[in-house]
Amino acid sequence: MTGGGSRTIREVDVVVSAPGRNYVTLRIETVGGLVGWGDATLNGRELAVASYLRDHLSALLLGKDSARIGDLWQYLYRGPYWRRGPVTMAAISAVDQALWDIQGKAAGMPVFQLLGGRARERLMAYPHASGHTVEDAVASISTKLEQGYAAVRVQASVPGLASTYGIHVGDEAYEPAHTDLPDEESWSTPLYLDFVPKLIAAVRDQLGYGFNLLHDGHHRLTPTEAAWLGKELEPYRMFWLEDVTPAEDQAAFSLIKAHTTTPLAVGEVFNSIWDCQQLITNRWIDYIRCATTHAGGITHMKRILDLADLYGVRSGCHGPSDVSPVGMAANIHLGFAIPNFGVQEFMGYPEETAEVFRASYRLVEGHLEIDEDVPGLGVEVDVEAAARFPYERKYLPVNRRLDGSMHDW
């Protein structure tokens, strides 16, 4: 569908930069001069998405009517014949976010107004607490609670393992993609399963039950092990246990759910509604973790979350530092408008990120707030500042069991 008016797309650019970490950002400009931004960051595979956008999508977007968001989504999804997958869907997600940004700017309204308007005053956010010992982890949670957070994720080093997912290094926040070739982490299921119930028990014992407690298993257990862990943690009333198994096997969750009342969250690596259709419609999960940056932008995430609402599943959008402030803003606008918001992960960003991304959402005492009078997504990107931070190749780690064989990271 070709445009012709001021809403016609006249320029498409991809900005790859590393202000503290790598980001891929899409810029779409209309004939009338409106600019929309989209986040296309796929941690560790950034340039594949940048190429998909530059080499395959930009020619398709030029001359199209930017107001036809739903139709363009279908065009990009059905058009190539090769559907889904993280690279394709991150690219479509960025286009979709940028078009919603433009739609809001054209209407003079924040995107959440276009999605139905404000349904809550603020969003509960959760940060990452971690420690090399149980004591450090408890102290780390205390600090977050003092800052006003009502929900906190906890990870701690598993005794006996050389490295553990999710533990901060020095004063820096935990950033898994930090090496120019994949770091090798180590894994032992018995050591992990022995440790986690002790960690969670110590947290509740020392800090009580007056806050929401989360833990990320990062896709490493079998369904039976996951069911056991969920049962063990029941007395500690978790807010959620995340990514207990690699979830391309959706039916595995029927076994886990049948054995535990610990709430289950999954979906940060999903990229379409088909990845979570069975999980949602069978009520095998409690929170769906897809994010607007990887699961088709605002348009597709709205469909996922509407389906989820029918089955009592709430949102818990992925929000690590590898979702850029643009993607974070898209998650936040959705969170303000939907009835089934659960929680928003907010890991925070390296300091330099703010030199490139000027975000108008705010973190106030552990909750996210948003302005009524900033049109679009409310994040402006400084392209000149971005040029000061060239791309640096970074990989996520891989994981090996103690016998040297590969495990899920």
Binding site for Mg ion (CB under 5 A): 216
Query: Between residues 106 and 363, which has the closer beta carbon with respect to ligand GCO?
Result: 363
Is 39 a binding residue for ligand GCO by CB under 6 A? The answer is no
d(C-alpha 300, C-alpha 291), whole Å: 10
Question: Distance between CA atoms of 297 and 99, rounded to whole angstroms?
Answer: 10
Distances (CA, A) of 205 to 138, 197, 199, 234, 242: 10, 12, 10, 14, 21
> What is the number of residues in the chain?
409
Binding flag, residue 218, ligand GCO (CB under 6 A): yes
Told to check if 36 binds ligand GCO by CB under 6 A, we report no
Buried b (16+ CB within 10 A) or exposed e, 22-42: bbbbbbbbbbeebbbbbbbbb
Determine the 3-state secondary structure of 79 from DSSP.
coil
Residue 176 as a binder of ligand GCO (CB under 6 A): the answer is: yes
Stretch that binds ligand GCO, among 5-13, 116-124, 318-326, 335-343 (CB under 6 A): 318-326
Give Dmax over CA atoms of the chain in angstroms. Answer: 65
Q: Clarify whether 209 is annotated catalytic.
A: no
Both tokens assigned to 278: 């069975």
> Which of 207/396 has CB closer to ligand GCO?
396
The reply to whether 165 belongs to the active site is yes
Q: For residue 12, list its beta bridge partners.
A: 28
Starting at the edge strand found earlier in the chain, the sheet holding 406-407 runs 184-187, 398-401, 406-407
CB closer to ligand GCO, 36 vs 127: 127
In whole angstroms, how close is the CB of 114 to ligand GCO at the nearest point? 28
Distance in Å, CB of 376 to Mg ion, minimum: 28
For position 46 contacting ligand GCO by CB under 6 A, the verdict is no
Position closest to ligand GCO via CB: 43
Which of 23, 77, 149, 165 is the catalytic position? 165
Catalytic residue among 128, 215, 218, 318: 218
Give the binding-site size for ligand GCO (rule: CB under 6 A): 10
Instruction: Write out the catalytic residue numbers.
Output: 165, 218
Catalog residues that contact ligand GCO under the rule CB under 6 A: 43, 176, 216, 218, 268, 318, 320, 322, 345, 396
